[in-house]
Structure formats: C-alpha cells, structure tokens
Amino acid sequence: MTVSIGTATSRVDGPAKVTGAAKYAGEFNAPGLAYGNIVTSPIAKGRIARIDTSEALAVEGVIDILTHENRRRMAVTKRAYQDDVAPDGSPYRPLYDDKILFSGQPVALVLAEEWEIARFATTLVRVEYDEEDHETDLHANRAKSYEKSKSAKPRGNAEKAYASSDVRHEGEYFIATEHHNPMELFASTVIWEGDGKLTVYDKTQGVQNVQRYLCGVFNMKPDDLRVLSPFVGGAFGSGLRPGHQVTMAVLAARHLERSVRLVLSRQQMFTLGYRPGTIERLTIGAKSGGTLDAITHEAIAMTSQYEEFARNDTGWSGALYKSPNAYYSHKLVKLDLPTPADMRAPGGATGVYALECAMDELAVKLKLDPLELRFRTYSDRDQNDDIPYTSKKLRESYRQGAKAFGWEKRHPEPRSMRDGNELIGWGMATGIWEAMQEKTSARIVLTANGHAEVSCATADIGTGTYTIMTQLAADMLGLSVENVTAKLGDSSLPQSPVEGGSWTAASVAGAIGVAAEAVRKDLLRLAKKMPVSPLAGAKLDGIRLADGKIMNEDGSGAVPIADIMRFGKVDRIEQEGTGESNDDGKHARFAHSAVFAEVKIDEQLGVIRVTRIVDAVAAGRILNPKTARSQILGGVVFGIGMALHEETLIDHNLGRFMNANLAEYHIPVHADVHDIEVIFVEEPDEIINPLGVKGVGEIGVVGTAAAIANAIYHATGKRVRDLPITVDKILG
Ligand code: MOS
C-alpha cells in the first residue's frame, strides 16, 4: 500500500492545464452567445446626469445597452447584496442608480453580437455627470480616521510602561496600495438554459457564495441557478466576493433571455478590490537585556465610503512576542475609492511587515543580533488570549532557517559586507498566520470497480486543492491516486465556504475524513454479513482500507472491496460527511515561519537584487511537499513584489488609480527572482485536527517584505519604512 499524503505528488490537474483542456470562466461557449462590455465612470464622486445611448445603439450588431434607467428589477435592500464575506456596510450595486461611488464604476453595459462590436459601441455611449468633490488621499485625510476595532485585548498599561523603558523604538511604516493582478481576467459566461434557468461560469473563489448572492439579488431559486468555477487562473483573494461582472452578466442574460459573456479588461479589474494602503505605527519598549516591557500597534487603513473593510493588522505582536503591556487599535479613513479586498494574508502581510521592521530597529538600538532578540522575546503562550498553542515550532524554524542561510557569518555593522560594487545585506523576520478550519462537506462515491470520486464545492485557485483532495480520499479509502477523481468548483456539490484564509486544506481534510469513515462503516457492515467473514467480530476503529481491501489494523482478514460490494449487491457506496473545527478556545492556532533574506545593492545606482531567501515554515503536517513548496515560493515572490515593486498610484486630482496595467504596475519578473529555499519544519500537532494540518497558502508572504527591508538597512545603513523600497528612496 502506497501512502500518498506527505509525498510530493504532482498536480492532478496539471496535464489539463498545460494542454489547454482546462477551461476558464471566459472560455465556455453556448449557441447565440452575446458579448458584453462596460462603460465606466471617469469621475470619482457625483451623479449621472444623462446617458445618451442612441449613437451606440445604432451600430450594427449592438443588441441592447443596459443602464440604471432601463435595467430590470434587482433587489432593493442592502442586505441582498451582502455576500458571505462582505465587510460591514452597504455593498456597491452594479447599474443600480445614478450615484457614482468611485472612478471606474460601471455605468452602462453594452451587449452585442461580437465582443469587438460591444467594445466599439462602448466608445459611443455619451454620459454626462454632475461631479462632486472627492477625497482619495489617505495621508491628507488621516485626521478623519476613526477607530474600527481593537484586534486584541489591551494588556496592562502600555503607555506608562513604554515611558519608563530602558530602550524605546517608535516608528511609522507605510504599505502601499496593491492590486492582486491574477493572470486570468475576471470573467463570467452565463448560459441561458431556458425557463429562466441559468448556468453561470464565473471566476470565483466561492461558487456557493456567488450562487447565494445572485439568488438574493435576482430573487432566484438555487435550483435555477448553478455556478461553476472548475479552474481559476489565480485570484489571491480578489475572487472571494462576487465580482460586479457576474452581477451584470446575469442581469443581461435575464434581460435578453440568451447566453451572455462579460470579461473585464485588466484596467477594469483595478476596481474589484485591492490591498488597502495602510499606515502602521509601532512603539516598543524594552529592557536593556532584550526583553519587552510594552508594545503598541496602531494601523490606519483606507476603505470606501460605503463599506468598512478592516482586518487584523495589529494583534500579531501579542501573539508573537512576550510583553506584559500591549495596546492595539485599527482605524479607517473613508475615501471615494472602491472597497479594498482581502489580498493574500490580509492584515498579516501588512501588520507583520511593520512589526518585524520595528523589531529589527529595536535590535539595532539594543545592539543585539535580530535573531537573538526573537529568542529573548519568544512566547510559548498566545498572550492575547493567554492560552497555549496547539503547536509552535518557531524556535526550530529560526534555527533551521539560520543554519541553511549561514546567518552566523553575518557582520552586524551596516555596510560591512560587500561583493565588488555591490553592498550585501542580510535581514530576517518572523512570519505568522492563522491556522483555520471552516465547516465543509464532502461526498465520496465508491464504485465496485475500485474507483472513487470525491467532491466538494470548494475551489482550486492554483493552490493544489484538486490534488490534496485526491490524495486524502485515496489514503482514507486505501486506493491509489490514479483511482480517485476529485470534483470541485460547482455550487451543486456539498457545501463549502469560499476558498480563503489558508483554511481549505484543513477544511476539506476534515470533511473527507468524516465521509470516508461513513464509507468504511458501510463496507464493514456488508463484510460482516458475508458467510464465514474474517471480519465478523471486527470494530470500526480496528479496521482499515488498503490496496482495495478492507482488513484488520494488523493486515489480517483482508477482504477485497469488490467482493464485499458484489456480495452486498451494491454497485456504489455514496456517503457525505461534514467536518468542523474542534476549536474550543483553549489553544491558539497559528502557522509560523522564519524568513532570511540576502540583498545585493549597487552602491552607485541603488539597484536592489534579492539574491537569496530562506523561508523555514512550521505549518503542521504538510500534505504534499511539492504543492506546498509552490505555495511558499509564490508567497515569497509576492513578498519580493511587496518589498520592491508593487504600488498602485492614485492621481488625487482625478481620484483614480493611474497605473492600472501590467506595464506600469510592477510585479517581480523572472530576473527579480533568484534563489529561494523552502524548509518545512517538522511540527507534529495532535490537537488542531486529526491529521495535524494547518495550511500553507498565505504564510509564505508574511514576513518576507520585512526580511528584505531589514536586509536593505543592513546593506546600506539606510532605513526605508515606506513600501515599496525603490531606487529613489535608497539614494534619496
Ligand atoms: Mo485569500 S486573501 O483568503 O484568498
């Protein structure tokens, strides 16, 4: 019996992806497909005064143009537009009324026989606006910030303790607004099935979230509206909430009573959501020996006028470092921009960046090695809730990462290491992310020919969900992975939340575990009824499935599953199971990492290269070291982008994102990515869930930008606190 969990199994969906057999939302076809293209607002705030569509409608091939004036009925309550992961507030409603909430807002949808016609006709739609003054500048509007939440309870009196500390560090950091920019464009193809029934192919991280949302907005029954998303070309959080393209595509299909496709352009995608620009202010007070007295963390982030998007930026310090006094606060500034969205480790990527740079600055003041400071402040309890961890092998992560990197050869003085014209810098940081599990169901259908199908409505956004579902079901049913098929991304499958928060591995593992147990129970019941059954006295917890047989734990009494099913006259066994988190609040659940970075900086030109990264990750049991490593590699590259390249610029005069394209929105390219080593630290965890799985989607990005920023300081002696760290900031 070959066990698949823990082995570097290649993606089961790999061949479909590289051969082009995998179809994405904008690639499904239907007879009589109509094509949509949107007209967007050039103003950030105001009202639509007049829309003249006559010229556009006269173009041959244009079918109709939908606006707030002629659209069909949509729900009127704000509640109907709040999807499963909506923040507090009143969501944007596409083509709902004449109000303009942000630049780039859709104001009309042109429908035509060909996409090119729709695109051309879009240029002929004349819209007049009554413009109002807008505010899009976070820094200029900082005084208007208001407290949204305290991510964790304060402890002691941080202000007082800080004031009397031996060594104090106070710093303000800034993380620029960033956009997800997945390769696949946001798209929806809505198939008109007749009788008002719709099949919706949508780019989304949550088919059932989209289904519930659309049913609410259009007052449809779930049976009449099926949402599918079998493959997703990246999303990084931008596909958690229903995109406005799906709402408009469904509106159009119901209006025309025919199939409709709507694909957003790269530029249009910049209004779907973004990582909010965030100011992070930290104070840390320490004793001269390197233990902490106090830590305070305040975040000021941007949000829209209509929704309050806020994440935990500030609570990480209390979870990571021992400090008797702590205070946190998360503030928001409402701006005339679209609502921000979750983006890979939302709150963690940003908050931990600031925390880890602040710790580095404190280490400099203490004249301590930054790694040594992490050991002196190490916490074996989560102080926010005063509880132990289910597991925390962060010390081992520090040690293994430092060893692989060669940290002990570091000269502490800035500008003390060089390679020819280049200054060398070595920096490190800690990463932390929540290890969550959400209520999720899965179905297993085992057929007498020894094949199983495992299904769940979750998504695979490139993370490897198809593959781990296959591996999990194979191992639990004693089959080889070749004999298991996984199905996902279909709202008609067993219930799943959105794929997000790195919870999917643990969540589907829980569901498949319960479903597989029910299958084993059925098989044992049938086996016991067989004449002279070797398993007549066996108990459910004393048997296992392996090599297509059911047997006692010790391997004795094996009976082929095919024989059992033939005897029982069943050709399929179908079972559904639901898994839930066992979190009783008694343990803190986190994945951790230690990131070490080397930069080389041209002394004259200021060009920065990230030449080496070692990321040592403790994330419980790793189900598949190959796909998990890919997740960490991707996260680290995200971190390089965050540190050096990514920044969405806003023209505050126009109130608009200005670099809404991949030429001017910089992301790391191959030449920016050098040596990345991923280490998975052994971390047995018998508390978190039966398999000890924590998930690895997001931990790879947390800490990476800080390690790079700290390396840049070490190379140059210059502390740049505002991301991204560009040449002008290094030389300026
Ligand atoms: Mo992730 S930002 O929860 O898709």
pLDDT in tens, 540-551: 999 999 999 999
Low pLDDT (below 50) residues in the chain: none
Atom 4 of ligand 1, nearest CA residue: 237
Residues 472-511 have pLDDT tens digits of 999 999 999 999 999 999 999 999 999 999 999 999 999 9
CA of 150 to the centre of ligand 1 (A): 22
Among residues 620, 618, 663, 615, the alpha carbon closest in space to that of 635 is found at 615
Spatial separation of the C-alpha atoms in residues 95 and 108, rounded to whole Å: 7
Cα→Cα distances 652→238, 339, 424, 529, Å: 24, 17, 38, 76
Q: Which active-site residues does the annotation give?
A: 698
Spatial separation of the C-alpha atoms in residues 660 and 364, rounded to whole Å: 39
pTM value?
0.97
What are the E-state strand segments in 420-540?
A: 422-434, 440-447, 451-455, 484-487
Pocket probe for ligand 1: among 204, 238, 311, 344, the residue whose CB has the most ligand atoms within 8 Å is 344
Atom 3 of ligand 1, nearest CA residue: 500
CA of 435 to the centre of ligand 1 (A): 13
Spatial separation of the C-alpha atoms in residues 321 and 707, rounded to whole Å: 17
CA of 389 to the centre of ligand 1 (A): 23
Q: Which residues fall within 8 angstroms of residue 19, CB to CB, at 6 or more apart?
A: none
Residue 305 has which token pair? 């006028």
Pocket of ligand 1 (CB under 6 A): 205, 236-237, 240, 342-344, 346, 500-501
CA of 343 to the centre of ligand 1 (A): 6
Pocket probe for ligand 1: among 275, 342, 350, 463, the residue whose CB has the most ligand atoms within 8 Å is 342
Q: Which atom of ligand 1 is nearest to the CA of 344?
A: 2
CA of 461 to the centre of ligand 1 (A): 10
The pLDDT value given to residue 319:
83
The pLDDT value given to residue 2:
65
